[in-house]
Amino acid sequence: MDLNAQIRQLAESFAKDSALRAQFQQNPAKAVEKLLGVDLPDDAIQQIVQGVKAKLSAGKLSDTVDSLKKLF
């Protein structure tokens, strides 16, 4: 399993779907396992959750920077 690819795919899914994003915010591990359709060990899930959170944060930061660029 390529973790980076999974993290990228999950982050895109959560970014596009507000219901999935809300579920991720309430219970990240359960939301990740549901989307992957696989029961993974807790340490693997936590790595994926942290990666998805980082991707989502980076995406929000990128959107903010793009918005600021439009002002100038």
Q: What does the pLDDT look like over 16-49, one tens digit per residue?
A: 888 988 998 899 999 998 888 888 888 888 888 8
pTM: 0.69
Whether residue 66 is predicted with pLDDT greater than 80 in this model: the reply is: no
Residue 67, pLDDT above cutoff 60: no
DSSP 3-42: HHHHHHHHHHHHHH-HHHHHHHHH-HHHHHHHHHTS---H
**21-27, long-range: CB < 8 A, 24+ apart:** 24/52
Nearest-angstrom CA–CA distance, 41 and 38:
10
